[in-house]
Amino acid sequence: MNVKFIILAIILAMAFLTGCTAKEKKIPLEDVGMVGVMAIDYIDENSLKLTVAIPQYSPEAKEHTQIFSVTTELVSQGIVDIEALSDKKVVLNQLRVVLLNEEFVRHGKARGIIKHLFRNAEVGNKVLIAVVKESGEEILKEEYPDKPNINFYLNDLLQPSINTAFNPNTNIHDFIYTQTNPVLDSIVPLLEKKEGKIEINGIALFKGDKMLRSLSKDDALIIQALQGRKKLAPLYINLNDNNKEEKMMLDLINSKVRMKGNKSMDSPKLTVSLKIEGTLVEYKGEREGHLSTHEEILKLEEDINKEIEKDISKFLETLKELKVDPIGLTEKFRMHYHGDWDKTMTRETISKLQWDIHVETSIVSTGTLR
Amino acid sequence: MNKKGRHVVLVKNLKFVRSSIGVKYQKKAQSEVGNSTKAEQFINDLKKHTSKMNDVIFKKIPTSESVVTVIYSSSLVDKITMQLMIFIPLANHLNQIHQVAEVIKTTDVNGISSKLISGQTLLYFHQSNLLLSIDTYSAPTRSITNTETESTVIGPQDAFTESLETNISLVKRRIQNPMLKNEERTIGKETNTKISILYIDNIVNHENLERLRSRIDHIDYPAYFDISVLKQLIEDNPLSPFPQYYMTVRPDTVSYYLLDGRMVVFMDNSQDALVCPTSFLEMFISIEDYYNRWTTASLLRMLRFFGFFLTIMITPMYISALTFHPEILPYELLLNLQESRSKVPFPPLFEVLFIELIIEVLREAGSRMPAKVGQTIGIVGGIVIGTAAVEAGLISNILVVLVATSALLSFLPPIFLMSNTSRFVRYIFILSAGLFGLFGQMLAFAWLITHLLRLNSLGTPFMTPVIPRKASDLMDSIVRFPIANLKEKMGISRSQKK
Amino acid sequence: MSTNKRKLLNRYHVVFLVQSTMFGTGVLSLPQRLSSLGYSQALFPLLFGVIASLSIWPMIWINSKYKNENLFRINEILLGKWIGKSINLFIVLQFTLFLAAIISSYMNLIQTTALPEQTLTIPVLFFLLLLTYIVNGGIKSVARFCIMAFFITIPMLYFLRWAIEKGEMSHLFPLFNYNGHEFFEALRKGYLSILGYEVIMFYFPYIVNQKKAYKHALVGIWISIFLCFITTLVSVIYYSEWQLENIEFTVLHLFKAGEFSFIERIDIIGITLWIFLILSTSAGYLWSAKKGLDSLRSKKKKYHVYLITIVIFAVVVMPIPLESQKKLFEGSYYVGYLLLVWPIFLSVVHILRKKQVQQ
């Protein structure tokens, strides 16, 4: 019994001894500046420009976000420099968005920086990444009069939403995953500043760790559809054959994709079958009055099928030329290959790839009128 | 009441009066006088023995048989009972008294005084030096009222009172079974309190019964005011903050447990009944669960059970999230918190301790205050202090919501002792969260689990649902299945009947 | 409560005791250890399960020949007093070091993720105090704690759902894409994660139903293996090969993929809940080490536990250079393998002896 009391007394005494251990003074919540958005710009081969946006909660401050900018060589060094400028301790716990300058990624520096963030235990894995056309610093410092706080704005902009279905919503984990996976190449959304608003203007396609070029929204949508995304953005289709121009819009699209490879490494052939179900919401063209019967709709669907197949084919040709694989088509061949697979084999496979695309559109309804 | 009525002894035998005339009769008179002096001697002894007890009354009454001195303690015997049981039969049918009464030895002074102070009436027949005693205990008791501490919405509303006999009668009228036994003991050297152990003979496990009996017989404590004193002496782990026996004031709960094979201990002058053995889950079960339908009952039980764990986790979570792990909270909430905390000068640990202590003070003062003043102070304390403190910037308003919720949740367990325990355990969690954040909280949680696992209740493990002794136990644990399926006895009682 | 001759552990106790001593700190980095296999590591835990089931059989066999003795006593009986005692000392030391390795790696993990600004001494002290509290209750209290730990931490499986959503099942193919060299490397490194079931040799005398002990132990083993299998499966689906190789604590990164609407970083809750698993593993080892010390000195004293705890504390906290600490721990891991084959050796000795006696 006595021993128990002694131990209890020791435990209670320990509680006070924790003050004796040499640890950093705990900074309470209100003195912590939590970085919401970080932007990295390219200056030259060795140094980069780091800009951070820290929201201000105090209702007395005039600005609701503090923006700091330093030039540095390492990201961590930059954080330390920023702390000298700010009155709070800067932490990356609530980091949400990382913006990378286009020049920066064209020089192939993205991987190092993102890897550093990945390694950092403070930063979560769901931090979104985007490439910006101009300088990230400018985007952060600009005033957006009818938009909320820049932190919320960028975060909400890059979140998955049905109308920006082409957006791959790359986060840190996805980026590292696609960078280190020999089968894939990374894609990152591309932002551009336009008259007081920020717009997602396509995606940036990487080859290895350098950005190769940017792709349009339609191409990006194809990537998403082939990767298996179920709900797609409204699709604008332009049928243009035999001098008949028809424009239409399919909405509320559900898509299902199946890809099968022919397990051959020498002449790889991929069978892609894509099923799209949608509602026809707007049509402008010749057949406008004649779309009430079932046969007419079928014909229209066939035409749409051909058009989409053409688009996808064209896109895959481009990929074949550039020898990049953002979709992961070569995964179907890796599955049946025994041995180590690396990037060169991906490039080879893509350059030899043949394909066979079947698209099946089905127009579910035409709105509330016939 | 304090009249020392001294009746003049009417000499029945006129011979004594004439003794002054004839010596012949003097001897007989002397023997009578001798007899009466012996009686007088006895009465005087007794009076000396009870000298300072003002309420012990000696009444000398002539009867057809002999002079009888009636000795009783007027604070324990009520006048109507005296008339009915003693004086009227004394006057009319003396054999009734002889049939009913018990004979006591006149030399047993201790026995005599103990009988007197337990409410019995002594009848001393002067002629035959015969001492009889009749049980006339009829001290005023409280009538059976509603329970205030363990009320339910539906179901019987009567509660135990402080009289042992009333309590036993409340139980016996619910279980009219010849197998329901009760054993009586007297414990406590200085108070001589009566206790009763009830059990149903063909259901209870006799090993448990033996254990309980031997524990009660082995304790040596002078004074008992309430059954909780006894409880703390026969517990397996008196150092633990958790109660290990179930205490209740409701007769329906007691009858439920008796039928399940447990033992119940009653104490005179004590409103609660002690049920043993019991398990941790039963601390969250209220008898009303059996009156409600099974869906409601299951929902409420889950609420109580998880409420216990919530109440010890909420405020420590606040501390650890704010001090150590701000990344846990979503962004908007965090900005909100930062704003409300920017006005507070203390670290979160002190803030929480401060407001927890205020709530404790409110609670304690509220239960000690006289009812008339209580209402106002309650409102002042609760509303005014809370609002004013937030405005003055001493605490943040989110914290007030959290603390109030956890205070409410801590009152969920139907046993008051358990709510007190959860208050105590919460402080341990708060301190450990303040020290090491979420890691400290989990350490404290692991400690809590280990501690609960090591507790025993009358030899049986306290956390029995860890490994259910019988599969049917699970049907009546956190989720309660319909009554038709609940026919079996719980495993913890190890009863003879299944 | 820990009297030598009473049978305390029924079958649920056995199942969960075996299960929790296996499933502890090793699982956190299991995918990383198996990463030499790349994507084909998904089915590997099943192989481990088969090996474990086979290797536990000699342990139970030799224990059932000496129904009331634990391994320490069996050592003394079969090999003579002095050799037996020295082997026992060796085992006790190995367990102590093993414990120190487990605790130190977990504490380092906590320090890097949950408590970045704290020195480790006081948390380690509290952890060890709690550990001695559990072990002081005897093997039954350890077993019940293991059961509770299992049920409390099982809901963490739900946290894997986001990783499954984002992952690609096609990673699993091709199925057996490795060569012999990679196979053995993974086997060597990965098997350490599921060591722990050999502790059954020390609490065997307390088992009520000794005949069915093998079946129950198998149930425990396969529960753990199943959990390991789910872990490797989900990691393979979610990560690329490079990530598997380079991320130290793969399971925690899996948790990082998740979020609720009111809690952002679930991995912190995952790490701190993991303490239950660590405690259950360490309690099993500490109890065995205590029994070893008891049998070495042939008497039971209360302070044996505290002695071992102080040694562990010293090893964890002392400023030994990191390299030598790592080497020490690695060494103790490999000695653990020795304990696996030891029962086979003992069984051989036992059979020889029996033959001798018969002759």
Residues in CB range of C235: below 8 A, 6 or more apart: C31, C163, C244, C250, C251, C254
Residue in B328, B443, B449 closest to C126 by CB? B443
Residues of A in contact with B350 (CB under 8 A): none
Residue B466 clears pLDDT 70, i.e. is over it: no
- Looking at the fold, whether B186 and B71 belong to one and the same domain comes out as no
Domain count, chain B: 3
Residue in C118, C123, C144 closest to B453 by CB? C144
Distance CA B235, CA B244 (A): 7
Inter-chain residue contact B438 with C114, CB threshold 8 Å: yes
Helix (H, G, I), strand (E, B) or coil at B63: coil
The residues that bridge with A128 in the sheet, in sequence order, are A97, A171
Inter-chain residue contact B338 with A29, CB threshold 8 Å: yes
Inter-chain residue contact B449 with C152, CB threshold 8 Å: yes
pLDDT of the residue at A191: 84
C partners (3+ CB pairs within 8 A) are A, B
Select from 3.30.300.210, 3.40.50.300, 3.20.20.370, 3.40.960.10 the CATH code of A216-287+295-370.
3.30.300.210
**Nearest chain A alpha carbon to B333:** A57
| C4 located within any domain | no
Q: What is the percent of chain B where pLDDT is above 90?
A: 3
Domain count, chain C: 1
C208 touches chain B (CB under 8 A): no
Q: Structure tokens of A125?
A: 């894995």
Sign of torsion over alpha carbons B481, B482, B485, B487: positive
B442 touches chain C (CB under 8 A): yes
Distance (Å) from the alpha carbon of C285 to chain A's nearest alpha carbon: 23
Q: Structure tokens of B481?
A: 């299945």
- Looking at the fold, whether B299 and B279 belong to one and the same domain comes out as no
Residue B444 clears pLDDT 70, i.e. is over it: yes
Residue A25 clears pLDDT 60, i.e. is over it: no
Over residues C86-108, the pLDDT tens digits come to 888 888 888 888 888 888 888 88
Residue in B327, B446, B454 closest to C279 by CB? B446
Residue A23 clears pLDDT 50, i.e. is over it: no
Inter-chain residue contact B327 with A59, CB threshold 8 Å: no
Burial A119-155 (b: 16+ CB within 10 A, else e): eebebbbbbbbbbbbebbbebbeeeeeeeebbbbbbb
- Looking at the fold, whether B368 and B433 belong to one and the same domain comes out as yes
CATH of residue C141's domain is: 1.20.1740.10
- Looking at the fold, whether B123 and B211 belong to one and the same domain comes out as no
Mutation for testing the A interface, residue in C40, C182, C244, C265 having most A CBs under 10 Å: C265
pLDDT of the residue at A27: 64
Domain ranges of chain A: 29-215, 216-287+295-370
C120 touches chain B (CB under 8 A): no
Question: Could you give phi then psi for residue A107, rounded to 5 degrees?
Answer: -85, 0
Over residues C179-238, the pLDDT tens digits come to 777 788 888 777 877 887 888 888 888 888 878 888 888 888 888 889 888 888 888 888
Name the residue with higher pLDDT: A290 or B284: B284
Compute the mean pLDDT over every residue in chain A, rounded to the nearest whole number. 77
User: What would the DSSP string read from start to end of B170-236?
Assistant: HHHTT---TTEEEEEEEE-TTT-EEEEEEEETTTS-HHHHHHHHHHHHH---S--SSHHHHHHHH-S
Over residues A70-114, the pLDDT tens digits come to 888 887 888 888 888 887 778 887 788 888 888 888 887 778 888
Average pLDDT value for residue range B267-272: 88
Over residues B114-145, the pLDDT tens digits come to 888 888 888 888 888 888 888 888 888 888 88
A2 touches chain C (CB under 8 A): no
Sign of torsion over alpha carbons B140, B142, B144, B150: negative
Residue found under tokens 């009538």:
B143
Q: What is the percent of chain B where pLDDT is above 70?
A: 87
Residue in B331, B341, B431 closest to A29 by CB? B341
Average pLDDT value for residue range B398-406: 86
Q: Is A324 left (phi over 0), alpha (psi -120 to 50) or beta?
A: beta
- Looking at the fold, whether B390 and B443 belong to one and the same domain comes out as yes
Average pLDDT value for residue range B162-181: 89
Name the residue with higher pLDDT: C24 or B1: C24
Q: Structure tokens of B359?
A: 């709530």
Q: Which of A322, A213, A217, A315 minimizes the C-alpha distance to A274?
A: A315
Alpha helices in B269-415 (DSSP H): 288-291, 294-323, 331-341, 348-368, 371-379, 386-392, 397-409
pLDDT of the residue at A14: 62
Measure the CA dihedral B29/B33/B39/B42, to 10°.
Answer: -160
- Looking at the fold, whether B310 and B190 belong to one and the same domain comes out as no
- Looking at the fold, whether B259 and B339 belong to one and the same domain comes out as no
Average pLDDT value for residue range C302-314: 83
- Looking at the fold, whether B195 and B250 belong to one and the same domain comes out as yes
Average pLDDT value for residue range B260-270: 88
Q: Which residues 121-180 on chain A approach chain C with CB closer than 8 angstroms?
A: 121-122, 124-126, 173, 176-178, 180
Distance CA B188, CA B223 (A): 5
Residues in CB range of C193: below 8 A, 6 or more apart: C26, C27, C29, C30, C33, C228
Residue in A121, A173, A176 closest to C112 by CB? A121
Distance CA B116, CA B75 (A): 11
Confidence category of residue A228, pLDDT binned at 50, 70, 90: confident
Chain B contact residues (CB < 8 Å to A): 239, 322-324, 326-327, 331, 334-335, 337-339, 341-342, 347-348, 431, 435
Inter-chain residue contact A338 with C177, CB threshold 8 Å: yes
Residue in B326, B331, B348 closest to A32 by CB? B326
Name the residue with higher pLDDT: B251 or A174: B251
Distance (Å) from the alpha carbon of C61 to chain B's nearest alpha carbon: 27
Distance CA A279, CA A291 (A): 13
Inter-chain residue contact C243 with A24, CB threshold 8 Å: no
Mutation for testing the C interface, residue in B306, B402, B454, B464 having most C CBs under 10 Å: B454
pLDDT of the residue at B6: 45
pTM of the model: 0.84
pLDDT of the residue at A244: 65
Mutation for testing the A interface, residue in C36, C113, C236, C256 having most A CBs under 10 Å: C256
User: What would the DSSP string read from start to end of A165-203?
Assistant: TT----BHHHHHHHHH-TT---EEEEEEEETTEEEEEEE
pLDDT of the residue at B429: 92
Q: Which of C67, C68, C91 minimizes the C-alpha distance to C308?
A: C91
A331 touches chain C (CB under 8 A): yes
Look at strands A354-365 and B56-62 and give their pairing.
unpaired
User: What would the DSSP string read from start to end of A56-96?
Assistant: ---TTSSSSEEEEEEEESSHHHHHHHHHHHSSSEEE-TT--
Inter-chain residue contact B446 with C275, CB threshold 8 Å: yes
- Which residue segment(s) compose the domain that C159 sits in? 11-358
**Nearest chain B alpha carbon to A36:** B331
Question: Could you give phi then psi for residue A22, rounded to 5 degrees?
Answer: -85, 100
Confidence category of residue B12, pLDDT binned at 50, 70, 90: very low
| C2 located within any domain | no
Residue in B328, B438, B450 closest to C145 by CB? B450
Residue B159 clears pLDDT 50, i.e. is over it: yes
Interchain CB contacts (distance < 8 Å): A and B: 48
Name the residue with higher pLDDT: B161 or B95: B161
pLDDT of the residue at A21: 45
| C224 located within any domain | yes
Residues of B in contact with A66 (CB under 8 A): none
pLDDT of the residue at B493: 66
- Which residue segment(s) compose the domain that B340 sits in? 295-454
CB atoms within 10 A of CB C183: 16
Q: What is the percent of chain C where pLDDT is above 70?
A: 96
B partners (3+ CB pairs within 8 A) are A, C
A117 touches chain B (CB under 8 A): no
- Looking at the fold, whether B172 and B125 belong to one and the same domain comes out as no
A305 touches chain B (CB under 8 A): no
Compute the mean pLDDT over every residue in chain B, rounded to the nearest whole number. 80
Over residues C315-358, the pLDDT tens digits come to 887 777 778 877 877 777 777 777 777 888 888 888 888 888 77
Confidence category of residue B346, pLDDT binned at 50, 70, 90: confident
pLDDT of the residue at A288: 65
Residue A226 clears pLDDT 70, i.e. is over it: yes
Cis peptide before A326 (omega within 30 of 0): no
Residues in CB range of C262: below 8 A, 6 or more apart: B330, B333
Residue B454 clears pLDDT 80, i.e. is over it: yes
